[in-house]
Amino acid sequence: MKYPIGIQNFRELRIGGYVYVDKTWHIYNIVNSGKYFFLSRPRRFGKSLLLSTMNELYSGSRELFKGLWIEDNWDWEAKKRPVIWLKFASFQYKHVSLREAVTAGLQEEASRLGVAVTISETTHPFSDLIKKVHARYGQKVLILIDEYDKPIIDYLDNIPQAEANRDTLKWLYSILKDSDPYIELLFITGVSAFSKVSIFSDLNNLANISLDPAGYTLLGITQEELETVFAKQLAETDKEKVKQWYNGYSWGGEERVYNPFSLLRFLSTMQFKNYWFETGTPTFLVKEMKKHRFYDVSGFQTAVAELSNFDFTRLNPITVLFQTGYLTIQNYDQELLIYTLDYPNREVRSSLEQLLMSEYMDYPPQGALPRVVNILQALRRKDVGTVVEIINAAFAEIPYEHWQKENEHFYHALIHLMFSLLGTYVRSEVHSAKGRCDALVETADHIYAFEFKLDKPVSEAIQQISDRGYFAPFADSPKEKIAVGMSFSKADKAVVEWEVTVY
């Protein structure tokens, strides 16, 4: 089986004999339900392939759809339309102004479609292109816009430039409403969902299907699709482990989807790795998380307005984490209109927490994961003393000037991240709610309950583990139960006292 890893061209995929998970039924339902659509999804989720599929569909390339659902459900002659396809990833706006780059891109499309765009103070080139293509072909035009937000996302660390690019995008899209008589269908994709006021102020009939049932499984691979299309490959691996690593994405529905890029990479190598994360390290985002004191984002609750409105002038890390794919919808309360978010899977959680822990420690020579592995190995040996040494070594590497400002915050963040990362290898839960231990770690032979105190006697920690019955849920387990109390000193910036009680 040939896996289309990194292939965004539908024609190349089909002619090359690559595996394709049939999404044409979803496409058919969407394009027959309206006229103006917007979809935001994280990178590497197949947005460009989706638009390429629509391009071939409306271009009448029936031979490419042989054997797919839509082959016998599409009026190939009646639906044929000229296609204007703007790909912001190919625009050279880093070398010239965005307006110049956009104009050049429009001229290229005009040349491909056999028309010439007029460039003048009184003529809008996009409007001119749409009208001339309509006139030449005698048909309404299909407009596809891919990565519409890239000129803004690329400059999140340069707000003046991002604002200038936003204004250019508003200028570009301002003509779409008046061009309605010439448009058959408009489909826009991107990573982020900016408010309509900021970019699509005149396009009030634009349907955002990002959190709509129509878009739930349009991109990504469902469990049923995985087990149908890749049944042979799944027979050779641990299905549940594949699910834990790469499944878990949801945009509102009960059914969750796999990250297609990571899943295909895994199936091609049969090795569990952080494939998606390696293709784009979110350094800027991690710095924003630290700046806003976000280190424990599991179970974060937010309103729909926050998820759908990306404001780059005052970034909300939770909104950005969701729209870029580092968080996903865990639950939606339809009565309260509140979304509960969490990491989608093991790949994302482990990768982001490693990077965040390294950011808190100012990127020490030894990364986050080796420390966590060393803690696990020590716990397997029942060597709590080494665990304390590893924790103290981590605190010791944090620059002094950071401690001066964020003493207690750094303590809570690093303890949380260390023990949360243990969950990559064994059952490990980190809590902060009253009545739960600070960290619970279960190895093959032991169950550890950790309680941390800040400038308080370690005896209080041990007593709390006993009084609150943290081991009660494991009463029937034959594993050895070990209570660990640790007392951290803000003055010394280290664990200064610790105690172990075996049950």
Strands (E), 313-369: 328-333, 338-342
| Bridge pairing between strands 221-222 and 439-442 | unpaired
pLDDT tens figures, 110-128: 999 999 999 888 899 999 9
Place of tokens 């956009």: 102
**pLDDT score for 26:** 97
Confidence at residue 403, expressed as pLDDT on a 0 to 100 scale? 66
Q: How far apart are CA 458 and CA 498, in angstroms?
A: 6
| Separation in Å, CA 390 to CA 122, 418, 429, 495 | 68, 10, 19, 10
Could you read off the pLDDT of 143-170 as tens digits, one per residue?
A: 999 999 999 999 988 989 999 999 999 9
* CA 458/CA 31 separation, integer angstroms: 64
> Which residue intervals of 230-259 are DSSP H helices?
231-234, 239-246
Task: Let me know if 397 is exposed, middle or buried by CB neighbors in 10 A (0-12, 13-18, 19+).
Answer: middle
The model's pTM: 0.92
Residue 406 banded pLDDT, cuts 50, 70, 90: low
Q: What pLDDT, on the 0 to 100 scale, is given for residue 167?
A: 93
Residue 220's nearest CA partner among 50, 1, 89, 10 is: 50
Q: How many CA atoms lie within 13 A of 340 on its CB side?
A: 8
> In 74-158, where does DSSP find H-type helix?
98-112, 125-137, 150-153
Order of all β-strands in the sheet with 446-454: 427-430, 439-442, 446-454, 480-489, 494-502
H/E stretch holding 135: helix 125-137
pLDDT at residue 330, rounded to an integer: 95
Q: pLDDT exceeding 90 applies to what percent of the chain?
A: 73
- The yes-or-no verdict on residue 32 having pLDDT over 90 is yes
Residue 196 has pLDDT above 90, yes or no: no
Query: Sheet containing 300-303: which strands, arranged edge to edge?
Result: 300-303, 338-342, 328-333
Question: Distance of CA 392 to CAs 235, 358, 492, 496, Å?
Answer: 45, 15, 10, 9
Decide if 207 contacts 38 (C-beta within 8 A).
yes
Q: Where are any strands of DSSP class E within 112-181? A: 141-146
- pLDDT-derived band at 404 (thresholds 50, 70, 90) equals low
Q: Is the pLDDT of residue 494 over 60?
A: yes
Average pLDDT score over the chain? 92
Q: What is the mean pLDDT of residues 4-21?
A: 96
Q: Report the C-alpha gap between 451 and 89 in whole angstroms.
A: 50
- What is the reported pLDDT for 468? 92
Mean pLDDT lowest for which of 61-75, 121-135, 306-320? Answer: 306-320
pLDDT given for residue 465 in this prediction: 94
Across the strands, what pairs with 190? 40
Q: Read off the amino acid at residue 3.
A: Y
Q: Is there a contact between 209 and 215 (Cβ–Cβ < 8 Å)?
A: yes
C-beta separation of 395 from 494 below 8 A: yes
- CA-nearest of 247, 250, 186 to 212 is 250
Q: Which residues pair with 37 in a beta bridge?
A: 187, 207
What does the pLDDT look like over 464-487, one tens digit per residue? 999 999 999 999 999 999 999 999
Given a cut of 90, is residue 293 above it in pLDDT?
A: no
The pLDDT of residue 195 is 61
Helical packing angle, 239-246 and 346-360, nearest 10°: 50
pLDDT value of position 157: 86
Count each helix (H run) and each strand (E run) in the chain, helices first.
20, 15
| Rounded CA Rg of the chain | 26
Q: Give one word for 147, left, alpha or beta, with left for phi > 0 and alpha for psi -120 to 50.
A: left
Tokens 């890390």 sit at which residue? 317
